[in-house]
Structure 1
């Protein structure tokens, strides 16, 4: 019999590419489906939420300014990293959600595939959403999609990993940065995802992951003047109404909660949820006798 002590994992927040403890020093117990203790997770505070917004805003310029092709490569790299750590995520999802190993493996596989799906869309969504507009007069009139900015994502409560990836990946695929509030009951796969993001090519601050009491963290983020949009997928009806009212103060885009089958084809609606349309007018003309437009 081994007399070694078990080395327990310390879970931390993921903010600005680093792994801080909550500034309050608080943690809360995370238990499995049978009530057995799994770990202590950080209990994020309002100050942690504000720090995450600062990090997301700082990262926005570089991430939104990167080429769509580059963002696609970065998202694909996340899928590569997850493939190498699949066993860990299968174990965490199984323990968190109380499902069988095979069911957890299917969810993890689907989550990895979801990263690949959105990686492929990064350089195609502009062609779908943009275009040349017919106008009367000697002008080009072009509309192109641009990212909204900093997006708060209230992750699904019951789908600890596949649901999380399904709401996070499209936000950053289109050039936004994210502040994620992980599932309150099942936060550990989200915090482990932060470790993957930190060792992939995703720049620090593009994704920030907070754990704790959903309502406590979401309220200051919904009212934050430097947050441009909020995805309410993981909020219940009462909390969603409160957050939507708070979000109206600076005209945030709001994606309301709705029943979602995360195992189904994700489509493009989440890609377009946090995009703005920029329209540019440019005069046409001729160059000499060639008649070429410029």
Structure 2
């Protein structure tokens, strides 16, 4: 950079309802790299921000869940296209966030892009493995079909700021759920940059909402919120997970408990099916 230029430092914001607001509290916190050097200030979300994100996710749920599976797959594929165009930026952010070499960070970013494509391909196929035509005694068709659970709170993994995040977010939304994402507390910048990609892709506003800050502070109101239908505790430690699971029981939220994960491994279909409900319909034959 020329010596006569000032550094243009980026100001990160939350992503709620398709817009980029500052935290309602006005608070920020310092984000550092693996060596402790300052990278940026990120928004420190408040409980009010969490509630606003749930409102946005609920508002978007009808349109997103009502879209065709094919359309949702096309939208997720568009996210992969947009990420491919900003590949170098994400490689740099992941390398700084996780202390990785450029080669390892590149592998993480490439795997994350591929994961969007992988889940996009599942969008119009999941009904074949989660639904069924059931044999019954009587002149009826009995069909079971998967439907989205609703608004899902997603605590992104703390140790995998981008690949882990995509691995928990993409399967939640491809089946028609909307999401409130709590970014990695230590390394939120890849998640906040992903929000910029989502905003300029075809993902409708409110389908994904991204909050940064203290995981426990943001997750508590989400776990207790009566309009949140499920919560993925991937980014919660054992004690926090136990507290959040107890809060989630108040309105019988579906809870996906945290466990060790190799985010680079084949994801399988477990998370794809985790936030689906089964609707069974009886229909008279010949009518």
State the TM-score bracket (shorter-chain normalisation): over 0.9
| Residue of structure 2 in register with 1:9 after alignment | 10
| Residue of structure 2 in register with 1:219 after alignment | 220
| Residue of structure 1 in register with 2:108 after alignment | 107
Q: How big is each residue's C-alpha offset from its partner over 1:1-35, in whole Å with a ceiling of 9 and x where there is no partner? A: 53100111110000000000000000000000111
Q: Does 1:123 align with 2:162?
A: no
Q: Distance in 2 between matches of 1:87 and 1:233?
A: 27
Q: Does 1:262 align with 2:263?
A: yes
Structure 1 residue 197: Cα displacement = 0.0
Q: How big is each residue's C-alpha offset from its partner over 1:39-64, in whole Å with a ceiling of 9 and x where there is no partner? A: 00000000000000000000000000
Q: Distance in 2 between matches of 1:6 and 1:149?
A: 43
Structure 1 residue 79: Cα displacement = 0.1
Structure 1 residue 131: Cα displacement = 1.2
Q: Distance in 1 between matches of 2:224 and 2:125?
A: 33
Q: Distance in 1 between matches of 2:173 and 2:226?
A: 20
Q: How big is each residue's C-alpha offset from its partner over 1:181-209, in whole Å with a ceiling of 9 and x where there is no partner? A: 00000000000000000000000000000
Q: Distance in 2 between matches of 1:236 and 1:10?
A: 29
Unaligned runs of 5+ in 2: none
Q: How big is each residue's C-alpha offset from its partner over 1:78-111, in whole Å with a ceiling of 9 and x where there is no partner? A: 0000000000000000011111011000000000
Q: Distance in 2 between matches of 1:201 and 1:190?
A: 17
Q: Distance in 2 between matches of 1:35 and 1:273?
A: 37
- Please state whether the residue corresponding to 1:52 is helix, strand or coil: helix
| Residue of structure 2 in register with 1:288 after alignment | none
| Residue of structure 2 in register with 1:26 after alignment | 27
Q: Distance in 1 between matches of 2:38 and 2:242?
A: 33
Structure 1 residue 134: Cα displacement = 0.1
Q: CA RMSD in A?
A: 0.5
Between Structure 1 and Structure 2, how many residues are aligned? 286
- Please state whether the residue corresponding to 1:16 is helix, strand or coil: coil
- Please state whether the residue corresponding to 1:5 is helix, strand or coil: coil
Q: Distance in 2 between matches of 1:196 and 1:120?
A: 20
| Residue of structure 1 in register with 2:249 after alignment | 248
- Please state whether the residue corresponding to 1:20 is helix, strand or coil: coil
Q: Distance in 1 between matches of 2:274 and 2:49?
A: 26
Higher Cα radius of gyration: 1
- Please state whether the residue corresponding to 2:154 is helix, strand or coil: strand
Moved >4 Å (runs of 4+): none
Q: How big is each residue's C-alpha offset from its partner over 1:117-164, in whole Å with a ceiling of 9 and x where there is no partner? A: 000000000011101000000100000000000000000001000000
Q: Distance in 1 between matches of 2:160 and 2:272?
A: 20
Q: Distance in 2 between matches of 1:220 and 1:263?
A: 31
Q: Distance in 1 between matches of 2:122 and 2:198?
A: 19
Q: Distance in 1 between matches of 2:72 and 2:168?
A: 17
Within a 5 Å distance, the mapping from 1:185-196 to structure 2 comes to: 185-196=186-197
- Please state whether the residue corresponding to 2:217 is helix, strand or coil: helix
| Residue of structure 1 in register with 2:150 after alignment | 149
| Residue of structure 2 in register with 1:171 after alignment | 172
